[in-house]
Amino acid sequence: MPLLDALAEGRLVGDGANGTWLSRLGFREQPCDLANLRAPELVAETHRAYVLAGADVIETNTFGANPFRLAGHPEDYREVCRAGGRLAVEAAQGRFVLGSIGPAGKPIEPIGSIPREEYEECVREQARVLAEAGVHGILLETFLDLEELAVAIRAVRDACDLPIVALKGFIEDGETLAEGLPVRVAAELERQGVASVGANCIVGPQRMLDLVRMLSEGSGLPVTAYPTPGLPQLVRGIVSYDATPEYFARSAYRLFEEGAHLVGGCCGTTPDHIRELRALLESRPLRSHRHGGVALRSRQTAELPQAQPSELSEKLGRKFVVAVELDLPRGLNLDRLLDGARRLKIAGVDVVNISDGARARLRMTPSAACATIQSRVGIEAMMHFSCRDRNLLAIQADILGAHTLGIRNVLAITGDPANIGDYPSATSVFDVDSIGMVRILRRFNEGLDLAGNPVGMRCAFTIGVAFNPLPMDRDLERDRLRRKADAGAHVVYTQPVFDERAIDEALEACRSVGLPCLVGVLPLRSQRHCEFMHNEVPGIEIPERLRRRIAEAATDEDAQRIGMEEAMRLVERIRSCAQGLYLMPPFGNAGAAIPLVEAARAGG
């Protein structure tokens, strides 16, 4: 029977987790796809164990067989796929074989740094190799990002004409179901021409029930479900599950009753779980499938309320905006920071900027400082947010927390690597860069997280981005600015400029992408400061004329006066042609910024 006919008829039992059983057999290397070349006998034994347990469908051990997950290993991902396809087909003994392909492992553009075209070509090659090995269909599984799944579907279509089973990972909770996300996902995947829609991983069989019901309602296609045995726990460094095979079988059996056509197991399931499910199916009559007639238990997505926007968002493009950056202290004493913010508010500053571990130095999280400034001083803050320290989950959690604290202005920055800072042995994460961060903020402004789950309201973030007017690679910097604008940025902050050429370059670049520009100014305070900025800080270029003038100053006080004069001259020029000014006084000294603020305001 062809795979499409078998899926339509239903009652197909899938296999369980390859990685879980390979680990039981002694293969502990990651990713487990490496076993296709390093321990093929164990992979074959795993497939045979699921066949003997009663599985109708076997999936290849190739979920992570892509160059991004295999980075650092000498094996070519195509050879890993080729071996994985061959081993599964040989061991299946006539059962259906699905070629497993997972997401990249790191976010692709525009969220992450993996080029979309590179990922698409990789999936195309995976599908081609698996098809040549003789698989009966392609299983796209554990995708959280629907856009990445769409790229993968398109790539498989280019490579072969095999049926596609497309599975999304759902973070199942009340809001996900209440907003009808699985219904919408199923309908969208059906439009993309897949053979079966479904869900896998993350949730156990009982929590998968509502997902199956809603997937059945959203599409007329066969539904596939591959739950975990339950919730995992970490035991001696190994992820373990408590659910017994008997419990899994009883709960997974109900998935068939609720409309699933193919049911298997994901992380934590073993041949024992599949054996119990097969035995239950053989011994108990199954009620008819419920094809699309399930009453919708959830309300449709309602119009989400709109959060209150920032004052800064109302000012951009309507008045000349003045922003000043203040430094966070090393410890907990915020007195100097709050005093500086008060002085700047009185001087007429629109927003204060709080950096996020600049140069990878340990400081308190800027969200706490920004919330404190806004509540105690009454001036808006722009929170810098570095992608260095947080994975994709933590980024979204921290941003939602900041919004709850009343922070509406966020400057997305990639961040300096941890190895240059206070803790060089700390791990840099960089799941996404600043472009991906902008995209996340825009999704929250639409009321959704990256997985498509509603967050309860449309957030109101004013999204700032950075721009270097005088980079080493001008084309790259311009391209990144364009991509930031396309991702949803609202305003550009530049690095410090020290001559009119840099101002003109910044304004021209921002005009080309249609974004307002706050031009950065940093008053120099000594020859040492000047030489450090010019020679040791990336992206900073101080004209020889200014460097010579400061070098010839008789004292540091004279050098500081020269630095202030030059900064004042730049402020006057910026006031006449830009949308705003971004002051970066040395060491966060609010007093050094106030004369420049007054000059900018006097010009208005």
CATH number at residue 7: 3.20.20.330
pLDDT at 237: 55
Residues 51 and 160 in one domain: yes
Looking at the structure of the chain, the number of domains it has is 2
Averaged over 536-558, what is the pLDDT?
89
Among 283, 298, 330, the domain-final residue is 283
pLDDT at 177: 54
pLDDT at 112: 83
Domain assignment present for 351: yes
Tokens linked to 426:
């700390």
Q: Express each pLDDT in 557-571 by its tens digit.
A: 999 999 999 999 999
Residues 186 and 53 in one domain: yes
Averaged over 295-309, what is the pLDDT?
60
Please, what is the average pLDDT of the chain? 89
Residues 370 and 224 in one domain: no
Residues 316 and 277 in one domain: no
Q: What CATH number is attached to the domain comprising 454? A: 3.20.20.220
Decide if pLDDT at 291 tops 80: no
Decide if pLDDT at 369 tops 80: yes
pLDDT band with cut points at 50, 70 and 90 for residue 293: very low
Among 463, 484, 518, the domain-final residue is 518
Decide if pLDDT at 134 tops 80: yes
Residues 256 and 348 in one domain: no
Residues 276 and 316 in one domain: no
pLDDT at 174: 43
pLDDT band with cut points at 50, 70 and 90 for residue 113: confident
The residue count of the chain comes to 604
Decide if pLDDT at 299 tops 50: no
In sequence order, the 6+-apart residues with CB closer than 8 A to the CB of 12 are 6, 56, 57, 96, 261, 262, 263
Note whether 238 and 19 are within 8 A (CB).
Answer: no
pLDDT band with cut points at 50, 70 and 90 for residue 175: very low
pLDDT band with cut points at 50, 70 and 90 for residue 292: very low
Decide if pLDDT at 550 tops 70: yes
pLDDT at 156: 98
pLDDT band with cut points at 50, 70 and 90 for residue 537: confident
Domain assignment present for 594: no
Q: Express each pLDDT in 476-531 by its tens digit.
A: 999 999 989 988 999 999 999 999 999 999 999 999 999 999 999 999 999 999 99
Domain assignment present for 305: no
Note whether 409 and 383 are within 8 A (CB).
Answer: yes
Domain assignment present for 441: yes
Residues 278 and 318 in one domain: no
d(CA 205, CA 248): 7
Domain assignment present for 224: yes
Tokens linked to 41:
């006998």
Residues 248 and 388 in one domain: no
Residues 183 and 324 in one domain: no
> Shortest CA distance to 384 belongs to which of 344, 417, 351?
351
Averaged over 88-103, what is the pLDDT?
97
Decide if pLDDT at 451 tops 80: no
pLDDT at 449: 86
Domain assignment present for 583: no
Would residue 107 be called left, alpha or beta, if left means φ above 0 and alpha means ψ between -120 and 50 degrees? beta
Averaged over 578-582, what is the pLDDT?
95
Tokens linked to 430:
């960089």
d(CA 547, CA 424): 32
> Shortest CA distance to 172 belongs to which of 248, 228, 218, 251?
228
Q: Tokens 């206070």 belong to which residue?
A: 422
Note whether 229 and 265 are within 8 A (CB).
Answer: yes
What domain range includes position 245?
3-283
The listed range with the strongest mean pLDDT (135-149, 167-181, 195-209) is: 135-149
DSSP H helices in 169-204: 174-178, 181-191
Averaged over 145-171, what is the pLDDT?
95
Residues 268 and 324 in one domain: no
Averaged over 462-482, what is the pLDDT?
92
Decide if pLDDT at 446 tops 70: yes
Decide if pLDDT at 210 tops 50: yes
Averaged over 385-406, what is the pLDDT?
90
pLDDT at 302: 47
Residues 20 and 110 in one domain: yes
Residues 248 and 196 in one domain: yes
Q: Express each pLDDT in 19-61 by its tens digit.
A: 999 999 999 899 999 999 999 999 999 999 999 999 999 999 9
Helix axes of 392-404 and 434-445: crossing angle, nearest 10 degrees: 50
Q: Which sign, positive or negative, has the C-alpha torsion 505, 349, 399, 365?
A: positive
Decide if pLDDT at 238 tops 60: no
Among 267, 283, 299, the domain-final residue is 283
Residue 87: HSE in the Cβ half-sphere, 13 Å Cα cutoff: 28
Q: Which residue has the higher pLDDT, 452 or 40?
A: 40
Decide if pLDDT at 232 tops 70: no
Share of the chain above pLDDT 70, in %: 90
pLDDT band with cut points at 50, 70 and 90 for residue 348: very high
Q: Is 173 helix (H, G, I), strand (E, B) or coil?
A: coil
d(CA 493, CA 418): 23
Q: What is the 3-state secondary structure (H, E, C) of 328-390?
A: CCCCCCCHHHHHHHHHHHHHCCCEEEECCCHHHCCCCCHHHHHHHHHHHCCCEEEEEEECCCC
Domain assignment present for 51: yes
Domain assignment present for 567: no
Q: Which residues of 116-142 are buried (b: 16+ CB within 10 A; e: fewer)?
A: eeebbebbbbbbbbbbebebbbbbbbb
pLDDT at 256: 93
